[in-house]
Amino acid sequence: MNEDDTIGLEARLPDQEYYRPPPKFVGQANGTDPDIYERFEDFPDGFSEYAELLTWDERWDETFDGSDPPFFEWFVGGSLNASVNCVDRHLEERKNQAALIWEGEGGEARTITYQDLYRQVNEMAAVLREVGVEEDDVVTLHLPMVPALPITMLACARIGAVHSVVFAGFSANALADRLVDADSDVLVSIDGYYRRGEWLDHKAKADEAIDTEETAVETALLWSRHDDLHEGVELTGDDPYVLVDDVLAEKQGAHVEPVARDAEDPLFLMYTSGTTGKPKGCQHRTGGYLAYAAGTSKYVLDIKTTDTYWCAADIGWITGHSYIVYGPLALGTTSVMYEGTPDYPDRSRLWEIAERYDVDIFHTSPTAIRQFMKWGEEHLAGYDFDFRHLTTVGEPIQPEAWQWYYDHVGDEDAVIVDTWWQTETGGHLITNLPALEDMKPGSAGRPCPGIEPALYEDDGTEIEAASGRAGNLVIERPWPGMLQTVYGDDDRFIDEYWRRFSDTDSDDWRDWVYKTGDGAVHGQDGYYRVLGRLDDVMNVSGHRLGTMELESAVAEVEAIAEAAVVAREDRERGHVPDVYVVLRDGVEGSDDVRKQVIASVEDEIGAFARPDRVLFVSALPKTRSGKIMRRVLENISNKEDLGDTTTLRDPSVPDQIREQVQTNG
Ligand code: WTA
């Protein structure tokens, strides 16, 4: 949906009933005191409660410095190390407790205690030092769901290097773009990994990224995942590769002194899709981010040290950073980490794991739930799992999917929270605290403690609270988990998130309003229901993709003169990309061209971004000034009314397209 014609979305869902959290949940929850909201209203000092959950080398002098908006600072003057907080400080009380229980796709399992994690993080930190990584260097990680990933992240944190994790499903080109943007000359990759029983040669992507002209990788550290079925990699010696195992062998038992990082020193970059051009590197600070991830893990996820917690996301996205690695480990819990897909070797895989490790808290996405629903509840039958707490993230959850999750996964006896947040926000911003609010299917719920959302009209006027009207979701007050900037591009940071609804001339932080890009409704009960993106960003199976990124990938195909990509609603995947294509003169639409389009998207971004349909049309709907009206295409894709088309240069185009879509779609 375009921003110009935003709020066509209105509250469409019928009223939902509420569900009470069961007393046995409430009795044991971390957050049972409703005063928490009040405490955090004491801005900014309320947030120091989260910082108190951490171990600091130097305590902060000032909770918040808003003197140079929107470049806010948190826990000013404090210093700490994230790996100490996630590992070292747990040794005294729980060195033999599992920190991570890793389950390989083929059924191998590895339990990594806090003591093991300490040893491995130190040894890897020594490896990074050995190859010349220094404080503040950006280290790019392109790793699948293997222990090497969190170990390398924490090793970077230990020596004060900034990690930039690129989801393993991203292509070589996408990896290369991120290496270049971050000026990163160290890459950490792996020989390969398994997906549905098949060995994927992951190093091939590293090879290609390194060979890309613009990248300048000096060292590529390569972990090994191969086993008897596959040979290891032979290195020639004259490439930038170093086998991690070779250097690790020399670093057995190494201790690397953790570097005290200023609270404002960056901890990591996470690239995410925006409305324009290339993905942007969201830069997260050490102190505020870690405090916010730990605080929300405690109160929203209700994590305790004695729990077995399982977030079935990939660490390559923000959810895995905050809620597999940093939050849960900072709290000293036991986390399950699963390498594979939910349907391998069969569709009961997750429930079998949940039973085996007696998982207490399970975190997944609406996309996954819709898939479980489609597969049928028979796949859960016979597995003896017992979740206390269930959570979702990534997209709005339809009440039917919520209900299914509640009935079949939660056994009508678990609490569910729907957590709304973004890569940029570092942690949850809108979600109920599980023991304090009633659940309402389809609604994310109330703002987290200390968070001040609001809804604005397109012209920037504020919509009255609890009016039930849809508007642009904004956040009116800073919070510690928020991104610091877009890496290397402060102007873009201001343009993307602040310019639209802020008084950018003001140096009073109260005049600066964070734009989320989402639309939402604030109900009379005070619950927010998030409707989805209002900008040119789409959410495909919970993965965030920019229209522009997709379009520029499609434009690489020789036969194509012009293309536009829009999101079509899909029962299973949430949204899927539809590609509308105008071919060059003399070229015929064919399956071959379709394949080229799909291949180009896989090549530029990754297979997870694959378009659903490639539709050949004779013209795209354009305004008189030549701007493509994607909204019209989106309405065609979703079989909705066309809306206002009076600004179209050629008003007959939508009908032509409809006809062409029917014949070739
Ligand atoms: C969407 C993922 C509705 C939203 C943590 C947001 C949601 C984007 C929810 C961020 C939710 C995330 N309900 N929509 N509970 N959670 N979204 O950066 O559109 O990958 O702006 O962060 O996902 O996606 P991102």
Reduced to 3 states, what is the DSSP secondary structure of residue 472? strand
Claim to verify: residue 389 and residue 430 sit in the same structural domain: yes
Ligand 1, closest atom to CA 533? 19
Measured between alpha carbons, how far is 341 from 322 in angstroms, rounded to an integer?
A: 21
Distance 641 CA to ligand 1 centre (A): 27
Could you tell me the end-to-end alpha-carbon distance of the chain, in angstroms, rounded to an integer? 21
Enter the DSSP assignment of 360. Answer: S
Claim to verify: residue 489 and residue 588 sit in the same structural domain: no
Does residue 1 sit within a domain? no
> Who's near 28: CB < 8 A, 6+ residues apart?
388
Instruction: Answer whether residue 394 shows pLDDT above 80.
Output: yes
* ipTM for the complex shown: 0.99
User: What residues does 447 pair with on adjacent strands?
Assistant: 430
User: Does the beta carbon of 318 sit less than 6 angstroms from any atom of ligand 1?
Assistant: yes
Instruction: Answer whether residue 234 shows pLDDT above 90.
Output: no
DSSP 325-389: IIHHHHTT-EEEEE-S-TTSS-TTHHHHHHHHHT-SEEEE-HHHHHHHHHH-GGGTTT-----SE
User: What residues does 83 pair with on adjacent strands?
Assistant: none
Claim to verify: residue 441 and residue 548 sit in the same structural domain: no
Claim to verify: residue 510 and residue 547 sit in the same structural domain: no
Note the pLDDT of residue 239.
Answer: 85
> Who's near 639: CB < 8 A, 6+ residues apart?
none
Give a three-class secondary structure readout of 273-312.
CCCCCCCEEEEEECHHHHHHHHHHHHHCCCCCCCCEEEEC
Note the pLDDT of residue 414.
Answer: 98
- The protein residue with its alpha carbon nearest to ligand 1, atom 7, reads 395
> Who's near 249: CB < 8 A, 6+ residues apart?
none
Residue carrying structure tokens 């929203």 = 300
Residue carrying structure tokens 């404080």 = 135
Domain boundary among 498, 514, 530: 514
Claim to verify: residue 429 and residue 298 sit in the same structural domain: yes
Does residue 611 sit within a domain? yes
- Number of domains the chain is built from: 2
Tokens of 282: 């969201």
* CATH assignment at residue 398: 3.40.50.12780
Note the pLDDT of residue 664.
Answer: 63
Does residue 110 sit within a domain? yes
- The protein residue with its alpha carbon nearest to ligand 1, atom 2, reads 422
Label residue 15 by pLDDT band (50, 70, 90).
low
Across the range 272-279, mean pLDDT stands at 82
Query: Which of 640, 612, 497 has the alpha carbon at shortest distance from 550?
Result: 612
Claim to verify: residue 505 and residue 604 sit in the same structural domain: no
- The protein residue with its alpha carbon nearest to ligand 1, atom 22, reads 422
Measured between alpha carbons, how far is 608 from 371 in angstroms, rounded to an integer?
A: 16
149 within 8 A of 118, measured Cβ to Cβ: no
Per-residue pLDDT tens over the stretch 334-363: 999 999 999 999 999 999 999 999 999 999
Does residue 525 sit within a domain? no
193 within 8 A of 202, measured Cβ to Cβ: yes
Claim to verify: residue 462 and residue 365 sit in the same structural domain: yes
202 within 8 A of 144, measured Cβ to Cβ: yes
The beta strand positions in 382-461, using DSSP E, are 389-393, 415-419, 453-456
Q: Say which residue, 63 or 233, is predicted with more confidence.
A: 63
Does residue 14 sit within a domain? no
Reduced to 3 states, what is the DSSP secondary structure of residue 473? strand
Residue carrying structure tokens 């998130």 = 497
415 within 8 A of 438, measured Cβ to Cβ: no
Per-residue pLDDT tens over the stretch 561-606: 999 999 999 988 889 999 999 999 999 999 999 999 999 999 999 9
Note the pLDDT of residue 47.
Answer: 98
Instruction: Answer whether residue 9 shows pLDDT above 80.
Output: no
421 within 8 A of 444, measured Cβ to Cβ: no
- The protein residue with its alpha carbon nearest to ligand 1, atom 6, reads 422
Compute how many other C-beta atoms are within 10 angstroms of the C-beta atom of residue 271: 24
Across the range 370-394, mean pLDDT stands at 96
Give a three-class secondary structure readout of 34-60.
CHHHHHHHCCCHHHHHHHCCCCCCECC
* CATH assignment at residue 637: 3.30.300.30
311 within 8 A of 335, measured Cβ to Cβ: yes
Does residue 8 sit within a domain? no
Claim to verify: residue 596 and residue 447 sit in the same structural domain: no
Q: Which of 314, 422, 448, 547 most suits a substitution to test ligand 1, by most atoms within 8 Å of the C-beta?
A: 422
User: Does the beta carbon of 472 sit less than 6 angstroms from any atom of ligand 1?
Assistant: no
- Cα–chain center distance at 358: 26
Claim to verify: residue 51 and residue 194 sit in the same structural domain: yes
Distance 516 CA to ligand 1 centre (A): 10
- The size of the chain, in residues, is 665
User: Does the beta carbon of 314 sit less than 6 angstroms from any atom of ligand 1?
Assistant: no
Note the pLDDT of residue 516.
Answer: 98
Measured between alpha carbons, how far is 128 from 186 in angstroms, rounded to an integer?
A: 9
Tokens of 60: 């902060």
Across the range 124-132, mean pLDDT stands at 98
Does residue 2 sit within a domain? no
Domain boundary among 496, 514, 532: 514
Note the pLDDT of residue 663.
Answer: 73
114 within 8 A of 91, measured Cβ to Cβ: yes
For residue 281, give the amino acid letter: G
- The protein residue with its alpha carbon nearest to ligand 1, atom 8, reads 422
Claim to verify: residue 189 and residue 314 sit in the same structural domain: yes
Claim to verify: residue 551 and residue 445 sit in the same structural domain: no
User: Does the beta carbon of 396 sit less than 6 angstroms from any atom of ligand 1?
Assistant: yes
Residue carrying structure tokens 């009206």 = 629
Note the pLDDT of residue 571.
Answer: 86
Reduced to 3 states, what is the DSSP secondary structure of residue 132? coil
DSSP 474-534: EE-S--TTS--EETT-HHHHHHHHTTTTS-TT--SGGG--EEEEEEEEE-TTS-EEEEEES
User: Does the beta carbon of 320 sit less than 6 angstroms from any atom of ligand 1?
Assistant: no
Distance 319 CA to ligand 1 centre (A): 10
Residue 651's domain comprises: 541-664
Note the pLDDT of residue 293.
Answer: 98
Label residue 275 by pLDDT band (50, 70, 90).
confident
User: Does the beta carbon of 419 sit less than 6 angstroms from any atom of ligand 1?
Assistant: yes
Per-residue pLDDT tens over the stretch 465-490: 999 999 999 999 999 999 999 999 99
Helix 203-211 crosses helix 172-181 at what angle (to 10 degrees)?
Answer: 50
Distance 203 CA to ligand 1 centre (A): 31
Claim to verify: residue 489 and residue 548 sit in the same structural domain: no
Distance 245 CA to ligand 1 centre (A): 37
Side-chain-side CA neighbours of 642 within 13 Å: the count stands at: 16
Residue carrying structure tokens 């879509």 = 661
Q: Which of 424, 516, 518 most suits a substitution to test ligand 1, by most atoms within 8 Å of the C-beta?
A: 518
Label residue 510 by pLDDT band (50, 70, 90).
very high
Does residue 535 sit within a domain? no
Reduced to 3 states, what is the DSSP secondary structure of residue 600? helix
- The mean-pLDDT minimum among 13-17, 200-204, 454-458 falls in 13-17
Give the pairing type, strands 528-533 and 514-522. Answer: antiparallel
